[in-house]
Structures are given as C-alpha cells and as structure tokens.
Structure 1
Amino acid sequence: MTLFSPLKILPLLIPAAFLITACTLWLPGHPQVLNNAFTEAFKTGFIGILLEALPFVLLGALLSSLLRVFVPDEMISRWIPRRPLPAILCGCLLGILFPVCECGMIPLVRRLMHKGMPLYVAIVFILSGPILNPVVYGATLTAFRAHPELAYARMGLAFIVAAAIGFIVYATVRKTPLRLSIARESGEPHEQSTRGGKLAAVFVHTSDEFFEMGKYLIIGCLLTSGIQTFMDQGSLAAIGGKPLGSYLFMMGLSYVLSLCSTSDAFVASTFLHTFPSGSLLAFMVLGPILDFKNSLMLLSLFKTRFALYLFFLIFSAVFTGSVLASLWL
C-alpha cells in the first residue's frame, strides 16, 4: 500500500495560493467584477481554453504510455552515439520519436541514466523532449493558426537552448551530480507477456498521466481566464509595453502555472494582442523545461548545487534566445 506523501500536492500549492491571495486582496475593492458580464466572460474564456487543449493533452498521455509499455529503455540507450556532438543532436531529436510529456520525463531519464546514458545527453533529452515532438508542434500550430512562425520559432529555440546547455554541461561538469540516495525505480510495473496485459497497462498509464496533467491544465486555465477577465486591460498593456517587464511576467507565469507542453500554447495565444511575440515564445519554451513541478523533480534527481546551476542556465538561455528571436518574429 502506498502512503500519501505531502510532496504530491506541493506543485498545486503555489498556483492555488496565488489565486486565493489575488481574490482576497483584489476582489473586495472591485465588486463590479462579480456582475454577470464578467462572470460570463470568465466562464467563456475558461471553457474555450480547456476544450482546445484537452485533445492534445489526451493524445500526449496516450503516446507517452505507448512508449512506456512497448519500447524498452535499452533500445533508446543503444541509439545514443559516443561522440559529444552526434550524441547531443541525437538527444535533441529523441523527442521527435518519443513524445513524452515533461510529467513523465524525469522518471524516464532516471531509468536511462542508470542504464548508462551520459549526463549531458540526459540533460538535452530533459530539455528538448517535452517540446520537440509532433504533438506539441501540432498543438502550437493550432493555437497560433494566424501566426505559424511562432510554432517554428518555438521548435527552433527549444532545439538551440537544449543543445547549448548540453555542450555547457559536457564542458563544465566532471563529477556525477546524481543524488546518492536515488536508486533505480522499483515501482515500475513489469510488462506482461500477453497482448491484453500490455494494452490494459497502456490504458492505466494513459488515465494516470491524463489526470496528473489535467489538474495543472485546469488551474492554468482558471488563472489565465481570471487575468484576462478581471485584470484591467490597461495594466496588461502597460506590462506588455515594457520589454523587460513582459518577458519576466510571462516567464514567471509559465513557472507558476506549470502547464503541460501540449496545452500551454493555447494559454499563450490569449496574450497575443497585449504582449510581444518574444515574451510569448519565452513562456512556451521555459514552462515545459522549467516550472514549479519540474523544479521539485529535478531537485529530487540531482544535487542541489547542480540543480541550481541548471536552473540558471535554463533561465539565461531562454531569456536571451527569446529576446534575439523577437528581432525576427
């Protein structure tokens, strides 16, 4: 029997606390927001974002489960070249073949590292896998139908950020940063020999991942709809008009919302007319790579010093890359 762990609810505490604090401090001074027009706009925005994103979340969970059940870890490890440059490129491209959401990335990479995957390749896979896959590309293209260049830029920036950080880790980290207490996962279900057993496992894993990602999607939709509905549009425009402020706001929002990479583009698209394209790109690249729940998982996998070093590299690379990309968008 598995005991309940308080750590499982930690990723929900920051967005929930943010929502409760905002309602407590702001709503009493603005009673007009509780009228029918505001509540109808809030419900419409929430349902619209949720319904657009749910099919992609479900598809991502299904493909991730198929990979987990039918593709052995050893097959992935055998494909990794020994030389650094081909290995980093291979790590970037693994996401195209194995569309694993960020929610399942850390357990998968932990298994692969115990089976011999080099650290720098594992880092590249962690950073690129949640974005560089067909499901996320399709979701981003759907969310930005009128601006397909944002989908291309998201894929390109994710590739560049992952490859650059992989080279930096290869060049600067010599000792293993894995926590000594981490052992190979013992809770992984053994694949059954019958076809029915594997198919049943796919449905179980799909439902688990779908509900795991769904709670973050719902909180993200609630917060985004609240910001779009109740926050003064002049304030949003003022933030969007300040380049530094817009980038920091959107990157901070992506960290707090902890959205799945198959749904965050739909949230970002709601800010299209108030924020510059570069800040939306930063939102869509940083969130799947580094958010609140990912931070907890990375801290559980790596020693604190290396994890903080990795956080700094990710933030710096995404910020710099999105600012440079905004010159083209």
Structure 2
Amino acid sequence: MQNMKSSAWRSFGKDILGIGLLLVFLLLFMMNDRLNDSERLNNLPDSIINVNTIFLSIVIEAIPFILLGVFISSLIQIYVSEDTIQRFLPKNAIAALFPAAMLGAILPLCECAIVPVVRRLIKKGMPLHVGVVFMVGAPILNPVVAASTYFAFSGQPTNIILYSRMGLAFVLSILIGLILYSIFKNKTNQLRNDVTSPAASHSHHHHPPENAGFFGQVRNTFYHAVDEFFMMGKYLILGAFVAALFQTFLDRSVLEAVGTNMYSSTLVMMVFAYLLSLCSEADAFVASSFGNQFTDMSLTAFLVYGPMLDLKNTFMLFAFFKARFVIVFMITVTLVVFTAVMLLFGVILQ
C-alpha cells in the first residue's frame, strides 16, 4: 500500500514537472518578440536572449515530429498485440535477428515505451536476443525518425548523417543482438521475477476492454498519445534548454578543441546523448544545432547511441532485467557504437 502511494506521488510529481516545463515553453514563446524588440528589455544580457532563441528554435522544429510519433505509436499500442508481432518471427535463433530489425523499421515505438514492450514480448516467448535487437533498433529504424533526421540535416548535400544513422542502426542492432545471444544463450531468463517499480507501472500500453467500441478505442488512443506527449515533451524541453545553455555559455575555444578531435568529440556526444535522454523523433534537431562545433562522426554517434541507451532507459532496464544483463548490455552497446562509428567514418574520410 505504501509503495502504491509513493509511486502515485512520484507519478504526480512527474506530471506536474511536465506541465510546468510546457508552460515555461509557452511563456518564452509568447515573449520571444518582446525579448527581441522591446526597448524595456534591451538591458538584458545578449546571452539570455540567445539561449531563448536557440531553445525555441529547437523545440518548434521538433514538436510536429513528436506529435506524429506519439499518434502512430498510440495506434500501434492499441491495435497491435504482442502475439501478432511474435507470430511473424522465425523460431531459429540466428534467422530471427534480421526480421527483428525489420520489425523495428516499421514500428515507430519511442525509447520511452520500448523497454516495457520488449519485457512483455519476452514474457510471451520472444527470445531474449531478439528482444534486444528490437529494443535497440525500433527507436531509430522507423519512418518518423528518418523524416525528422532528414529535415534536421536537410542543409547537407548528401545528408550523410541520415544514411549513416539508419545504416548503422540496422547493422548494429543485429550485431548487438548476436553478441548478447552468444553471452546469454544458456541463460535466457534475464527478467526480474517481481517487477513492482514505478517504471513498471508506467508501461505506455493501454489496451481497451474487449467490448469497447470504436469510440472507446479512439478515446484510448488519444489518452495514450497525450500521456506519451507529456512524457517525451519534458525530455525534449530539458534537452533543448541544456543544448541552448551549452552553445551559449561554453567557451568556443574549448568547444572547437573538443569538437574537432574525432575521439573526444565522439565520446562527448555519446555522453551527452546518454544524459539528455531525448526522444529519437526529436533528437536530430538538437544534434543539428551542434553542427558548427562538432564533426559529422560525433553527431552520428549521438544519434545512434542515445536512442539505444540513455539515462531514463537505464532505470527501466534495471527495473525489468537482472543487473548482470543490464551491465553487459550497456557495455556492449557503448563499445559497439563507438567502434562502428570510428570505422565507418575512418573509411569515409579516407
């Protein structure tokens, strides 16, 4: 009983935080013209105005893709069952890797929802390594993310970051699944027996009652979309604000020194992606705002690593899976992404 009350208060606090952040965004949006034109505010430091301008530009560009993503994700969560997904996967362990990656390419599930969904799939019989492929691939390999990445980097003649992101995500999701299979093939039960954490209660999965009619299903779809929008929106706003602060106040000489070195810039952007925990449907707009300071290699690492592993997903992973599996998973994803990005751009730059 006490745990339920504590979970309810935490959930209430997160909702209040989300609403507060959205109100701050609306306030800054409405004040943007005044910040730029009002003589009374001319005494404000240029850095404050610059933070506001960068922050608003990132959020405004990303919101249409957030809305599109949450509605598509909601339709899938309501109308597509895990049994249906499982029916299309081959029984052979190795043969199932490719279809799992393809499945991720057509289902636009965000990383906010993917961990609980994969847990349910594994409990219904999906092999652990296939769930891993789906978990790391689905948040990147879908049309919404591809479209947002295309528009965020549309200024590039060849949009190399888009092709690198999608290609690496597909290949690496299969490779990561294969590595985890080789490590845990004799220990497939890596789920925690009793999951009662707050993360488990927020599963992003709202099935309507079987007797619910068309309007009931539509209502539940909108409920899920609103819930997911608040979940993703607060991370987007926080990420955009940190990115704006980062670009405004960080010493440009330090930024150029870090950003031009392929090793340090790649590591820094991977850490940045982990800490910001951005939605994959909007992270490209944050990444593109660093285009003048960081290399294409480091931006690609940011866009591949973040959706596969970030701070908010780490809590859910430890809540649903055994600690040893989570630690091995985190190390594998980090090493594979870093090495693959280095190898890919090493070939491109030659």
TM-score, normalised to structure 1's length? 0.88
- Would you say 1:238 and 2:257 are equivalent positions? yes
Partner of 1:87: 96
User: For residues 120-169 of structure 1, what are the alpha-carbon distances to aligned partners after superposition, in whole Å with 9 as ceiling and x for unaligned?
Assistant: 00000000000000000000000000231110110111111111111112
Partner of 2:269: 250
- Matches for 1:17-56 after TM superposition, within 5 Å: 35-56=44-65
- Could you say if the C-alpha distance between residues 170 and 152 of structure 1 is closer, same or farther in structure 2, counting changes exceeding 3 Å? same
User: For residues 57-101 of structure 1, what are the alpha-carbon distances to aligned partners after superposition, in whole Å with 9 as ceiling and x for unaligned?
Assistant: 111111110001111111001011112333101111112221100
Give, in angstroms, the shift of residue 236 of structure 1: 0.5
User: For residues 158-213 of structure 1, what are the alpha-carbon distances to aligned partners after superposition, in whole Å with 9 as ceiling and x for unaligned?
Assistant: 11111111111222212111112138989854423300000000000000000000
Partner of 1:169: 180
SS at match of 2:274: helix
Q: 2:170 aligns with which of 154, 159, 164?
A: 159
CA contact (8 A) 2:206 2:224 kept: no
CA contact (8 A) 2:77 2:206 kept: no
How many residues are treated as equivalent by the alignment? 308
Give, in angstroms, the shift of residue 51 of structure 1: 0.3
CA RMSD in angstroms comes to 2.2
- Would you say 1:125 and 2:126 are equivalent positions? no
Q: 1:61 aligns with which of 49, 61, 70?
A: 70
CA contact (8 A) 2:86 2:121 kept: yes
Partner of 1:179: 192
Pick which of 169-178 and 311-320 moved more.
169-178
Pick which of 47-56 and 107-116 moved more.
107-116
CA contact (8 A) 1:139 1:262 kept: yes
Name stretches of at least 5 consecutive residues in structure 1 with no aligned partner. Answer: 13-33
Tell me how far apart the structure 2 counterparts of residues 77 and 7 of structure 1 sit (CA, whole Å).
33
Q: 1:71 aligns with which of 75, 80, 94?
A: 80
CA contact (8 A) 1:111 1:185 kept: no
Identity %: 41
Give, in angstroms, the shift of residue 45 of structure 1: 0.3
Tell me how far apart the structure 1 counterparts of residues 297 and 195 of structure 2 sit (CA, whole Å).
38
TM-score, normalised to structure 2's length? 0.83
Give, in angstroms, the shift of residue 42 of structure 1: 1.0
Partner of 1:29: none
- Could you say if the C-alpha distance between residues 185 and 216 of structure 1 is closer, same or farther in structure 2, counting changes exceeding 3 Å? closer
Pick which of 288-297 and 82-91 moved more.
82-91
Tell me how far apart the structure 2 counterparts of residues 80 and 203 of structure 1 sit (CA, whole Å).
30
Partner of 1:16: none
Partner of 1:299: 318
Pick which of 203-212 and 89-98 moved more.
89-98
Tell me how far apart the structure 2 counterparts of residues 132 and 3 of structure 1 sit (CA, whole Å).
38
SS at match of 1:86: coil
- Would you say 1:225 and 2:244 are equivalent positions? yes
Tell me how far apart the structure 2 counterparts of residues 54 and 321 of structure 1 sit (CA, whole Å).
31
Partner of 2:5: 3
User: For residues 8-29 of structure 1, what are the alpha-carbon distances to aligned partners after superposition, in whole Å with 9 as ceiling and x for unaligned?
Assistant: 679x9xxxxxxxxxxxxxxxxx
SS at match of 1:324: helix
- Could you say if the C-alpha distance between residues 190 and 35 of structure 1 is closer, same or farther in structure 2, counting changes exceeding 3 Å? closer
- Which amino acid in the other structure matches residue 264 of structure 2? G
Tell me how far apart the structure 2 counterparts of residues 100 and 88 of structure 1 sit (CA, whole Å).
18
- Could you say if the C-alpha distance between residues 259 and 189 of structure 1 is closer, same or farther in structure 2, counting changes exceeding 3 Å? closer
CA contact (8 A) 2:78 2:206 kept: no
Q: 1:146 aligns with which of 150, 155, 160?
A: 155
Tell me how far apart the structure 2 counterparts of residues 185 and 262 of structure 1 sit (CA, whole Å).
24
Give, in angstroms, the shift of residue 7 of structure 1: 6.6
Partner of 2:221: 202
Q: 1:191 aligns with which of 200, 208, 213?
A: 208
- Would you say 1:96 and 2:105 are equivalent positions? yes
Tell me how far apart the structure 1 counterparts of residues 106 and 295 of structure 2 sit (CA, whole Å).
32
- Could you say if the C-alpha distance between residues 190 and 61 of structure 1 is closer, same or farther in structure 2, counting changes exceeding 3 Å? closer
CA contact (8 A) 1:92 1:125 kept: yes
SS at match of 2:94: helix
- Which amino acid in the other structure matches residue 247 of structure 2? Q
User: For residues 204-258 of structure 1, what are the alpha-carbon distances to aligned partners after superposition, in whole Å with 9 as ceiling and x for unaligned?
Assistant: 0000000000000000000000011111211100111222211111111111100
- Could you say if the C-alpha distance between residues 189 and 39 of structure 1 is closer, same or farther in structure 2, counting changes exceeding 3 Å? closer
Partner of 1:287: 306
Q: 1:213 aligns with which of 195, 218, 232?
A: 232
Give, in angstroms, the shift of residue 3 of structure 1: 2.9
Name stretches of at least 5 consecutive residues in structure 2 with no aligned partner. Answer: 18-42
Tell me how far apart the structure 2 counterparts of residues 201 and 264 of structure 1 sit (CA, whole Å).
27
Tell me how far apart the structure 1 counterparts of residues 71 and 177 of structure 2 sit (CA, whole Å).
28
